[in-house]
Chains A and B, each alone.
Chain A
């Protein structure tokens, strides 16, 4: 059945409004998009790492989660959901439950690229039937915009501030999607919010309904940390895709597939200039930063094209 946004949004929400996430934040958009991909008749258990998402959606005595939900700690969402999934398998085997459940964990980039990396790697390797979704906003936003290994080169954060001698984050962004693909799990994809949400919806559906472990990396901008007006969320993600800063691709059973090629690959300035965290890169004398950034993006894009060309 072909994708239809109007039909998709008719589905009843599994993640209620009224939570306390900021306007213009990508995380709840990512969550709603992923949960909409569940078949309405299927049940789910959702897990979240400690994060903005967790503390803003399950503030006792309120919960925004209509499915069963568990939060345990910052670095163990993947292990926690693998425990839930294992319990489901054994209780089903023992005839104690008969419904179909799906298992989805959410973590920010801090809980996924960094402190939760070991737990995620372990769960992917063990082969649980689960989806791990990283809503990647490229810094520790919950504690106040500190750098993570996902923070891009030159980004100004509170622990990689752009100063007189150090120009923001000194290191380049970790390529976690590639790292998880190297776990040889059946489904890995990178996506964000584009157009009618077809890309993210279809990928979420595949991730949920592919047996075994799946990983979705979703660029989910943060208006506070990236410093853009809330209403510009979709402009930012669009620019990320059109500049090849955040390419849309999937790795299915080891096969790399490029999902979108920009008609005209835009220069990275088109993405960087929309965000305050990169504003120092546009000061006179800092042209080299933009050149370096462009070179990194070009290299990664060529690398991705190569992986996808091997079929």
Chain B
């Protein structure tokens, strides 16, 4: 069952694309996602896929070619990071509003200022409100598995939205780990063909895409888009259930790790979950009731489900690998805290901004966060909620 391999996260994504054999890839190199189009263009050069690869002159054009190709009726993919995603910004919204199920492999890297090539989530967090579904991955296996599920979710007729599959730059994109791949035939069976209802190259029914919508229509277009994102929740779970049947690997909106009787918990995204799980395991051995929630699906945001999973906990630290410069915390903190507002009993909550620009996060850092949560639980006071972890003040 499955093919055992050792691959980096970038290779895992490139191989997922190879197995899927999409119609079009438009991409531009940027560290640390460069390897994805690099590997893929080699597959094209060797005839291992018959995808058309467009080596564009910018990420802006990468997303533009994907928009053109997807609107034309093709399955279009791209990969980028950091400033590349920022340059695509305008078109992320265009792709979502035109309801084009493009797939983007985002290899998370800090946004420039200062320039930095290492991981944080400022790039994709900045894009979280552009109308894309966002799936986050802890490791190369999850990056691969998320990519295999992405098109089934985005191309579902109740959804028709673009999907961003995120993984942590260098930490997982370049680290080689064991991975279990699905056989290519099974990938093709699972992902299936893209069969849009309307597209530019449909001879019997020419269409116009990308209208000017005045105030008389704009809000209805947005409401329909919002409904698609609501619909995506159910589709994400359906696709995950089918994926589990094929692979035995289980996915949901988030992963709960030792949460059953947890009194203190952290909420985290991406590769830090691996480090944090080790901290939880050690602390559990010491008899401490600690647990972890790892967000997989940020858009659509699993508000009710998170509230149910966290309401019984005494104190929670939400870990943000991105600033939002609100002067009161990171983006994930704002959303998780809001999710708990309707609960009758709520945990005390704090926010840790951590790991910006690739700053290492250690087991000890996470243990420190848990110790803070214990103090908060004991004192009954959250104190300062906007905190930094592992920073020189």
Interface residues, chain A, CB within 8 Å of chain B? 43, 45, 47, 54-55, 58-61, 63, 65-73, 75-76, 79-91, 93-94, 96-97, 99, 101, 118-119, 121-123, 125-126
Contact = CB atoms under 8 A, between A and B. Distances in A.
Nearest to A121: B57
A222 B212 CA distance: 21
A83 B201 contact: no
Interface string B183-225: 0000000000000000011110011111111100100000000
Interface residues of B, number: 43
B57 A70 contact: no
Interface string B56-84: 11101100111111111110100000000
B50 interface: yes
A256 to B, nearest CB: 26
13 contacts: A54-B212, A59-B214, A65-B206, A69-B200, A72-B68, A73-B94, A82-B68, A86-B69, A87-B201, A97-B203, A99-B203, A118-B60, A119-B57
Contacts of A89: 52
B206 A122 contact: no
Given A58-B211, A68-B208, A99-B203, A75 B60 contact: yes
Given A73-B91, A76-B61, A81-B68, A88 B201 contact: yes
A63 B205 CA distance: 14
B200 A80 contact: no
B55 interface: yes
B57 A90 contact: no
B54 A45 contact: no
**Best-buried of B26, B55, B70, B211 by chain A (most CB within 10 Å):** B211
Contacts of A125: 57
A69 B205 CA distance: 12
Interface in B81-105: 90-91, 94, 98
B146 interface: no
B52 A86 contact: yes
A184 B29 CA distance: 25
Contacts of B91: 72-73, 76
Contact of B200 (A79, A84, A90, A123): A84
Nearest to A45: B200
Identify the 4 closest CB pairs spanning chains A and B, nearest first: A83-B68, A122-B57, A83-B65, A79-B64
A80 B66 CA distance: 8
A80 B52 contact: no
Given A83-B72, A86-B24, A86-B65, A72 B94 contact: yes
Contact of B208 (A70, A72, A121): A70
A70 B58 contact: no
Given A58-B210, A75-B60, A70 B71 contact: yes
Contact of B203 (A43, A59, A66, A70): A43
A293 B375 CA distance: 78
A83 B24 contact: yes
Nearest to A125: B57
A60 B56 contact: no
Contacts of B24: 83, 86-87, 90
Contact of A65 (B26, B60, B90, B208): B208
Contacts of A65: 206, 208
B209 A69 contact: yes
Contacts of B58: 118-119, 122
A71 to B, nearest CB: 4
B95 to A, nearest CB: 9
A163 B212 CA distance: 36
Contact of B64 (A45, A63, A72, A94): A72
A265 to B, nearest CB: 39
Given A43-B206, A122-B58, 18 more contacts: A59-B211, A63-B208, A65-B206, A70-B67, A70-B200, A76-B60, A76-B61, A80-B64, A83-B71, A83-B76, A84-B71, A86-B68, A87-B24, A87-B68, A101-B201, A119-B57, A121-B57, A122-B56
Contacts of B65: 79-80, 82-83, 86
Contacts of B180: none
Contact of B67 (A43, A66, A72, A121): A72
B255 interface: no
Given A81-B68, A82-B68, A122-B56, A70 B23 contact: no
Contacts of B149: none
Contact of B68 (A66, A75, A79, A90): A79
Given A75-B60, A76-B91, A79-B65, A91 B211 contact: no
B51 interface: yes
Contacts of B73: 87, 91, 96
Given A58-B212, A90-B23, A68 B64 contact: no
A76 B61 CA distance: 7
Contacts of B76: 83, 87
B203 A87 contact: no
B92 to A, nearest CB: 11
B116 to A, nearest CB: 25
